[in-house]
Amino acid sequence: MKKIKLLLSAIILFLLALSCSKEGKEELIEIVVNEKPTDQPDEEPETEEPLVESSPLPDNPQRTGDALAGYEYLISGNYMSSGVPYDAFLLGTSVNPDNRLNRTGDNANLPYDYTAITAANGARVVAPNCMACHAATINNEFIIGLGSHDANFTVNRASNIALLNSGIRALYGGEESAEWQAYDQFRKSIVAIGPRTITQTRGSNPADKITQVLIAHRDKSTLVWQDTPLVDIPEEVIPSDVPAWWLLKKKNAMFYHAIGRLDFCKSFIGSSLLTLGDAAKAAEIDTKMADVLAYIQSLEAPEYPFPIDSDLSEQGKQLFENNCATCHGTYGDSPTYPNLLVTLKSVGTDPELSNHYTESSPMNDYFMDWFNSGWFGTYRNNLQIKAEGGYIAPPLDGIWATAPYFHNGSVPTLEDVLNSTERPTRWSRSFDNTDYDQLKVGWIYSVEQTKADINTYDTTLKGYGNSGHIFGDQLTNLERSALIEYLKTL
């Protein structure tokens, strides 16, 4: 029993969500992002202004639903179909269920990022829910919709699966038991994902790779699991940072690389691929996703919890509107957001996540066809996967809470975002959620000479680079401080 408890304790977070058209204009537009302040003396010679090449993302009207029903479904719904038997999970977990979601029944005994569900055969099991990657604590405040900044994907989650299997067989009388049958698909997915989704640094998220592995094992039309992959799965894992949910209501395309078009709700069902039985179950889940989207769209960014210098912030607002608003939008009573897909050449940030979908390969070709011509792209409201290269210039609501920055989480603070010359090549942090830098806005960190452990972020690794977005380099220190003070207010 002790071995079973230790083993079950080793089950940790899994990313489940693809964390869930009209043709756009084909011509590129050039946007001046470094306009001179209007009060600049006329006699000062003009300097060449950096230009940003971008294209507007077309609007994608979404389904409407009930936000309250969507919340309940997220925290207690059965969008998972397989998991660890309930009694075995309670026996093995050492996590204190503080019930911060105020759930009732079986779920009151579970950590917030797990949900008890009834499998198709009637067995009660526990599976990860969307909060595993879309909720986090910062400065001791638990925030639903904040991307998990401290999850550890640096280990192979399948390393102890044989012992786990033995424990469940022993507890429930073998593989003929209802509990084993309800656990089996979860087991298969762990075996497939475990060795192929390992990141180099704690906090980095392998969402894209998890999706690739899961669809490689599923028929695109029936969604039925195939034990042998239908396509060769590449070894490399390109990391990403989990974006905040409250930004989605402003966006015309999902994900940093803007590949998620048309129906966002269908994308959310990607989280269920971990345990899904078949397309019939996916269709059942689909009926709930408009409510989930309504809930996500109801979320607002958390307010900055520390003092703000209002005079300095007002100066920063002018700098922002003159330098940043063209791409990132405006804020306040009448906010705007342009929904621009910026080219890799212009933004200069690590290209690997974007390139992964624009460069032809067997896996990439399979990925595009699987979504666009299979169940996800043809059943009722259709999801479209379209890769044009580049990254979305995101909305900045609640940016103070979303460190580390860039699509791969390679930059620890806003000050480093706005001064590329000071960005650390290797840096580490404590992963204490209160270890927050109010001056630089982001995580307190230490500069490292080598990658000593999983807590060190190494920007020399493929997909982990911190280059690009040099638009703040021309600012003076005072201007940079003012701009950061304004960003705290968003």
pLDDT at 486 over 70: yes
- Tokens read off for 443: 């995580």
Which helix (H) or strand (E) covers residue 478, if one does? Answer: helix 477-487
Position 50 scores a pLDDT of 56
The pLDDT of residue 51 is 75
Give the pLDDT mean for 132-148. Answer: 97
Q: What is the pLDDT of residues 235-272, one digit of tens each?
A: 999 999 999 999 999 999 999 999 999 999 999 999 99
Backbone angles phi, psi at 116, to 5 degrees: -85, 130
Mean pLDDT of 12-34: 34
Structure confidence at residue 2 as a pLDDT band (50, 70, 90): very low
Give the length of the chain: 490
Q: CA 292 to CA 72: how far, in whole Å?
A: 9
For range 194-204, the mean pLDDT: 97
Instruction: Write down the pLDDT at residue 49.
Output: 47
User: Could you give the percent of the chain with pLDDT greater than 70?
Assistant: 90
Q: pLDDT, tens digit, for every residue of 51-98? A: 789 999 999 999 999 999 999 999 999 999 999 999 999 988 876 778
284: which residues sit within 8 A by CB, 6+ positions away? none
Asked if residue 211 has pLDDT above 60, the reply is yes
- Per DSSP (E only), the strands in 165-204 are none
Separation CA 128–CA 151 (nearest Å): 13
- For the stretch 306-349, pLDDT in tens is 999 999 999 999 999 999 999 999 999 999 999 999 999 999 99
Question: Which tokens belong to 364?
Answer: 């990439």
Give pLDDT, residue 371: 97
CB atoms within 10 A of CB 173: 12
**Percentage of the chain with pLDDT > 90?**
87
Query: What's the pLDDT score for residue 55?
Result: 96
Q: What pLDDT, on a 0 to 100 scale, did the predictor assign at position 9?
A: 44
Element (H, E) at 344: helix 344-347
Residue 41: predicted pLDDT: 40
d(CA 263, CA 265): 5
Say what the pLDDT of residue 32 is: 32
Residue 228 predicted with pLDDT over 60: yes
Q: Are 228 and 282 in contact (CB under 8 A)?
A: no
Question: Which of 15, 64, 479 lies closest to 290 in space, CA to CA?
Answer: 64
Q: Is the pLDDT of residue 30 over 80?
A: no
The model's confidence at residue 27, banded by pLDDT at 50, 70 and 90, is: very low
Tokens 């043809």, located at residue: 378
In order of 280, 440, 466, 474, the CA distances from 422 in angstroms are 53, 12, 11, 13
Residues 405-447 pLDDT 10s? 999 999 999 999 999 999 999 999 999 999 999 999 999 999 9
**Res 461: pLDDT:** 98
